[in-house]
Every structure is written in C-alpha cells, then in structure tokens.
C-alpha cells in the first residue's frame, strides 16, 4: 500500500476572496466571480474574467515592490496553509516546498516594457523585472516563511515537439522526470514506492 498523504492546511487566493473562508462562502452562496476585466487593456472577444482583486498592503513596501502579483498571491496562500496546519518555525525549516507556476510576473514585465518603449523609463529598473522568472514565487515563499527543506526547481520548455500531441504529460513530463530523478539522487533523497506516475515512468527516456 502506498504511503498516505494527509492535507493538514489549506490556503487560497481566488476571485471569490483572499482566503479559504471567502472561497467556501462564495461557493456555498452560489456567487459568480466572473466580471468585466479591468486589470489590463484587452482586445478581442473576451471582456470578462474571474479577476483576482489585489491583496491588502500588509507587506513592507520594499518587499512588495519586488514581488509580482503571483508572488504576493502565493505568499498569502502559503501563509494561510502553514498557519492552518500549525507549522511552527522548527517544522517549517524541515518542510519541502513544491510550487507549480505558469506565467510568473508577466503582468509586471509587460508593464515595464511598455514604460520603456513609451519613454517613461530611461532604463529597466531591477525592481520592475526581478519577479519575472517562474521560480521567484518558490523563492519568496521559502525565504519569507522559512521553508528550507529540499528545494529543486525544474522548468521544462519544449519548442515545436516532434510528437503527435502537445500535452505536457507526454512532452514535458519525461524530461521533468529524468531531470528531477537525477536531482533527487544528487540530494540523496530516496524514492518512495507508489509515488511515481506509471505513465511518466514508462515514457521517460
């Protein structure tokens, strides 16, 4: 029997609210979070979205300036989850952190390029682009909350794959498996039976 996984804490930042209680209440009441898109200028057919409202300013200004919206949302959700799970400083130091991200600080990066092209900024300011990489959300959560267990970031980008489909599991999955497997061996982390998806294992080369 594979090891059991127990969820002891949840954290949420969504269009229905900034915490688990808000999301639960919104779902219970049947509220719809889709509304007119106001976060950025758009063109095309879509004019509505499940847009997430900005969080209250609780971070130090110097830190907030360096964080993208995804970074701030990830930190808020992870903080709520750690508090709900009762993870104190000692437990956090041993905890591993897994973050899945797609866009990073794309909104801030596009704004920085727009200001540069419009002549509003004579140069790219480091604070405007430092949150661009996908890995920054993981770094922000780890450093702020003190989660210092095994840390590995693997980003797979496949351009024009020579396969019959474009699904991440079949294209990027085998690459991720091979790289992560080598990383875990380097960190001397022993594999746990039953935790590797058969599909990835069979297709990894």
Q: Is residue 190 part of a domain?
A: yes
Q: Which CA distances in Å does 12 have to 74, 77, 145, 191?
A: 9, 5, 16, 30
Q: 127 by DSSP, 3-state: which?
A: helix
Q: Assess whether pLDDT exceeds 70 at residue 112.
A: yes
First to last CA, the chain: 27
Q: In the prediction, which pLDDT does 198 show? A: 41
3-state secondary structure labels for all residues of 113-139: HHHHHCCCCCCCCHHHHCCCCCCHHHH
C-alpha closest to that of 161 among 170, 150, 152: 170
Q: Assess whether pLDDT exceeds 50 at residue 202.
A: no
Q: Assess whether pLDDT exceeds 70 at residue 73.
A: yes
Q: Is residue 12 part of a domain?
A: no
Number of domains in the chain: 1
Q: Is residue 84 part of a domain?
A: no
Q: Is residue 178 part of a domain?
A: yes
Q: Is residue 30 part of a domain?
A: no
Query: Ramachandran region of residue 50, left (φ > 0), alpha (ψ -120 to 50) or beta?
Result: beta
Q: Is residue 177 part of a domain?
A: yes
The token pair at 72 is 């701030």
Q: Return the higher-pLDDT residue of 2 and 37.
A: 37
pTM strictly above 0.85: no
Q: Is residue 182 part of a domain?
A: yes
The token pair at 29 is 């009441």
Q: H or E stretch including 186?
A: helix 173-186
Q: Return the higher-pLDDT residue of 69 and 3.
A: 69
* Domain range for 170: 154-205
Q: Assess whether pLDDT exceeds 60 at residue 7.
A: yes
Q: Is residue 53 part of a domain?
A: no
CA distance 147 to 82: 10
């Amino acid at each position: 029997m594979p090891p059991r996984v127990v969820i002891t804490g949840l954290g949420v930042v969504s269009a229905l609210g900034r915490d688990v209680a808000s999301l639960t209440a919104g779902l219970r009441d049947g509220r719809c979070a889709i509304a007119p898109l106001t976060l950025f200028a758009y063109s095309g057919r879509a004019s509505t979205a499940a847009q997430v409202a900005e969080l209250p300013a609780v971070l130090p200004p110097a830190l907030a300036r360096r964080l993208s919206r995804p970074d701030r949302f990830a930190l808020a959700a992870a903080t709520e989850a750690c508090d709900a799970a009762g993870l104190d400083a000692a437990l956090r130091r041993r905890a591993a952190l897994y973050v899945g991200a797609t866009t990073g600080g794309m909104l801030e990066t596009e704004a920085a390029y727009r200001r540069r092209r419009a002549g509003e900024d004579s140069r790219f300011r480091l604070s405007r682009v430092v949150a661009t990489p996908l890995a920054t959300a993981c770094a922000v959560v780890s450093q702020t909350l003190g989660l210092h267990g095994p840390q590995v970031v693997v980003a797979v980008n496949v351009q024009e794959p020579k396969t019959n489909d474009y699904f991440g599991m079949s294209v990027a999955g085998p690459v991720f498996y091979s790289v992560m497997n080598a990383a875990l061996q380097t960190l001397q982390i022993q594999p746990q039976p039953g935790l590797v998806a058969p599909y990835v294992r069979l297709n990894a080369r």
